[in-house]
Amino acid sequence: MKPCLALFICLWLVGCSTLGLKKPQLSLVDIHPATSTLLEQNFDVTLRVQNPNALPLHASGLSFDLDVAGNRLASGLSDQAIAVPALGETEIKVRLHTSLVSWLKQLGKVMRTDGKLDYQLQGQLEGVQGLTSVPFSSSGEWQLP
pLDDT in tens, 104-120: 666 666 556 666 778 89
Identify the DSSP state of 22.
Answer: P
Whole-number pLDDT of residue 93: 93
Whole-number pLDDT of residue 49: 94
- List the chain domain ranges: 22-143
In the chain, which ranges are continuous DSSP H helix? 2-19, 100-111
C-alpha to C-alpha distance for 145 and 21, rounded to whole angstroms: 36
Whole-number pLDDT of residue 17: 47
- The CATH number of 22-143 is 2.60.40.1820
- The distance from CA 39 to its chain's CA centroid, rounded to whole angstroms, is 24
| Amino acid identity, position 75 | S
- Where the chain has pLDDT below 50, the residues are 5, 10, 12-13, 15-17
Whole-number pLDDT of residue 20: 75
C-alpha to C-alpha distance for 51 and 58, rounded to whole angstroms: 10
Whole-number pLDDT of residue 91: 96
Q: In what order do the strands lie in the sheet with 40-50?
A: 25-33, 40-50, 89-99, 71-78, 61-68, 116-128, 132-143
